[in-house]
Amino acid sequence: MVLRFGIEFVPAEKTLDVAYYSKLAENEGFDNVWVTDHFTNRSVFVSLTQVALYTSKIIIGTGVTNYYHINPAVIASSIATIAEISGGRTILGLGAGDKITLANLGIERKKPLTGMRESIDIIRRLWNDETVEYNGDVFKLPKAKLHFKVKHKPLIYMAAQGPKMSQLAAEMADGVLINASHPRDYEQAKVNFKIGMEKRDPKRRKFDVCAYCSFSIHDKPEKAQNAAKIVVAFIVGGSIPPILERHGIPLEQAKNIEGFLKQGKFKKAIDAVTPEMLDAFCIAGTPKDCIEKIEVLQSTGCTQLVCGSPLGPNITKAIKQIGKTVIPEFMSKW
């Protein structure tokens, strides 16, 4: 089966740079651009607006925004505006938000699962031109209505790693973005998708399973791996014990890395990343290494591979290399 390719950009970069990379990705055969959202970076919606104006066919989306730092009604109107600008090429990627980033805003991530269910409900109803009077556990909207018609209703993809979030994604969303790079994580996710699928409306479109991987490509494997180490350090430092145990990563090694990161000792954190951690939490190596790992992910049922940060030691070269050497391997042979 054909595998779609997505790419993640982080608006720590200027909006014009994100737009330039997105256009390059479009030209190199990528299907989707996902732009991350943290208040510390440039605005995801402004970045996506610029991406929409610079591209013509690639699907663009938040990868991902969240309903704690933006009210779902504001998410509904913002992403519908981008859908309008892009001519319907837009997906809403929605997550519970990064716990540590939200804590810096004094926002406690209360009832994330309930918040997700309610947000999706509110957003879809607003797009359907309803006046929403909502009295949920997390959201209370006395009277919300959009004063413009949403012609292009975006698909909604959920970020999910946890068992209940994964089940909810299969029940309610059009797709899921799983922040993981190892087949073990996808085998586990499948168990939860099956549970969620039982409650899914059969009229809803086919469920898109996106492997949102830390990805790094270079002809010299050690260069690719070195570029990925800081990202992997953050993943290891932020992972909960069951995930570390699933991949056989000793908890004390992870605690060690977490400590270095908290103190801003990034070089020490990078040096503490082991080959086992790289294997568990990223796809990094030569084009051949990357293709082999992607093939295994595809065999677990993934329908889209999202190439996430760092992409490689050089972003422009990495986008071109993925487009020329990796994507063609997964295009239909007939």
- Taking the complex as a whole, the smallest distance from the CB of residue 104 to ligand F42 amounts, in Å, to 11
Please tell me whether residue 164 binds ligand F42 under the rule CB under 6 A. Answer: yes
75, 82, 96, 173: residue in contact with ligand F42 (rule CB under 6 A): 96
CB count in 10 Å sphere of residue 220 = 11
Q: Which long-range contacts (CB under 8 A, 24 or more apart) does 258-267 make?
A: 260/233, 261/233, 261/234, 261/237, 266/230, 266/233
How many residues in the shown chain lie near ligand F42 by CB under 6 A?
26
The C-alpha atoms of residue 97 and residue 8 are separated, in whole angstroms, by 16
Find the part of the chain contacting ligand F42 (CB under 6 A) among 58-66, 147-155, 198-206, 319-327. 58-66
Q: What is the largest CA-CA distance in the chain?
A: 58
* Residue number with CB closer to ligand F42 (19 or 213): 213
Cis before residue 232, ω within 30 degrees of 0? no
Strands 90-95 and 65-66: parallel
Please tell me whether residue 213 binds ligand F42 under the rule CB under 6 A. Answer: no
The C-alpha atoms of residue 302 and residue 176 are separated, in whole angstroms, by 10
Least Cα distance to 92 among 157, 42, 168 occurs for 157
60, 159, 224, 326: residue in contact with ligand F42 (rule CB under 6 A): 159
Strands 140-144 and 132-135: antiparallel
- Using an 8 Å Cβ cutoff, are 232 and 249 in contact? no
Judged by DSSP in three states, 258 sits in helix
Please tell me whether residue 313 binds ligand F42 under the rule CB under 6 A. Answer: no
The C-alpha atoms of residue 276 and residue 121 are separated, in whole angstroms, by 41
11, 72, 112, 175: residue in contact with ligand F42 (rule CB under 6 A): 112
Cβ neighbours for 1, distance < 8 A, ≥ 6 positions apart: 298, 303
CB count in 10 Å sphere of residue 2 = 11
Please tell me whether residue 170 binds ligand F42 under the rule CB under 6 A. Answer: no
Please tell me whether residue 246 binds ligand F42 under the rule CB under 6 A. Answer: no
Contact code string over 117-146 relative to ligand F42, x by CB under 6 A: ------------------------------
Gap between the terminal Cα atoms of the chain: 11
Element (H, E) at 102: helix 99-103
- Taking the complex as a whole, the smallest distance from the CB of residue 222 to ligand F42 amounts, in Å, to 27
Please tell me whether residue 113 binds ligand F42 under the rule CB under 6 A. Answer: yes
Please tell me whether residue 165 binds ligand F42 under the rule CB under 6 A. Answer: yes
- Taking the complex as a whole, the smallest distance from the CB of residue 220 to ligand F42 amounts, in Å, to 28
Find the part of the chain contacting ligand F42 (CB under 6 A) among 46-54, 153-161, 244-252, 309-317. 153-161
- Taking the complex as a whole, the smallest distance from the CB of residue 43 to ligand F42 amounts, in Å, to 12
33, 73, 132, 178: residue in contact with ligand F42 (rule CB under 6 A): 178
15, 32, 161, 309: residue in contact with ligand F42 (rule CB under 6 A): 161
Please tell me whether residue 75 binds ligand F42 under the rule CB under 6 A. Answer: no
* Residue number with CB closer to ligand F42 (146 or 160): 160
7-36 residues near ligand F42, rule: CB under 6 A = 36
207, 212, 215, 260: residue in contact with ligand F42 (rule CB under 6 A): 212
Element (H, E) at 137: none
* Local structure of residue 214 (DSSP, 8 states): E
**Interacting residues toward ligand F42 by CB under 6 A:** 36-38, 63-64, 66, 95-98, 101, 111-114, 159-165, 177-179, 212
